[in-house]
Amino acid sequence: MEPVYTCSEDALVAIATDDVLDGLCTPDEAQTLQDVRRRGIPCVGLDDAARELSCLHPPTR
């Protein structure tokens, strides 16, 4: 994965490292997180990402 510093209009969830969520990040990362939160997009840590994404796309058989 690579860091992304913009958020598309159709984003459903943002995934960030625990450091970023805790404010231990670069100014660009902090600005991106503020933008995401201002738009009301849920932001989750890496540990919660799989659960959040599985709700969006149920597993196929």
Task: Please tell me the pTM assigned to this model.
Answer: 0.70
pLDDT class for 33, splitting at 50, 70, 90? very high
Q: Cβ contacts of residue 47 below 8 Å, gap of 6+?
A: 18
pLDDT over 90 (residue 34): yes
pLDDT class for 22, splitting at 50, 70, 90? very high
User: ∠ at Cα 41 (37, 44), nearest 5°?
Assistant: 85
**Using the 8-state DSSP alphabet, how is residue 23 labeled?**
T
DSSP assignment of 17-33 equals -HHHHTT-S-HHHHHHH
Using CA of residue 46, residue 21, residue 14, residue 44, what is the dihedral sign? positive
pLDDT class for 18, splitting at 50, 70, 90? very high
Distance from the first to the final alpha carbon of the chain: 26
